[in-house]
Amino acid sequence: MEHLWAPWRIEYVKKAKEEGCVFCEKPQEADDRSNLILYRGKFNFIILNAYPYNPGHIMVAPNRHIGDLDFFEDDEIKEHADLVRLGISILKKAFHPDGFNIGMNIGRVAGAGVEGHLHTHIVPRWSGDNNFMPVISDTRVVNQALLDTYNRLASEIAANQQNSQSSC
């Protein structure tokens, strides 16, 4: 019998739900790399999911703690959509996925892991990326370390910023 080693997953399973909001607290800290924050806009930021469904799973979250689309200001929601587009662009360049799952889980019954702070998931997908593991053992194997993913996406964001500055 072969054994698959995915130690990162057990930390998520065993972890007690923390008080507070990760999307409010992480941006307050100084070290974006250790907090997996890839990009900061004026109203929103892009962060790598610490417990990804697939390599490159990122999220866009507003800076403000808001839990309903009705509470977005016009500038906030426009930038949010722009950062979703940026996230897709950098993922395409870095990983060449065949497609994406993009969405929000609003409310606990809808699967929101961080209830009360909206965020949009962007999950890159590849043909054949799903196998028997989730069905048989409720386990998904992610084949890339988080900081390797972070470094790759951060370099794509830097290149994107250089390209947009040089085209002005």
Active site residues: 119
Q: In terms of C-beta distances under 8 Å and separation of at least 24 residues, what long-range contacts does 148-155 make, across chains too?
A: 149/48, 149/52, 149/55, 149/56, 150/33, 150/36, 150/38, 150/48, 152/94, 152/95, 153/38, 153/48, 153/56, 153/58, 153/90, 153/91, 153/94, 154/33, 154/38, 155/94
**Cα–Cα dist 51/89, whole Å:** 21
3-state SS class at 99:
strand
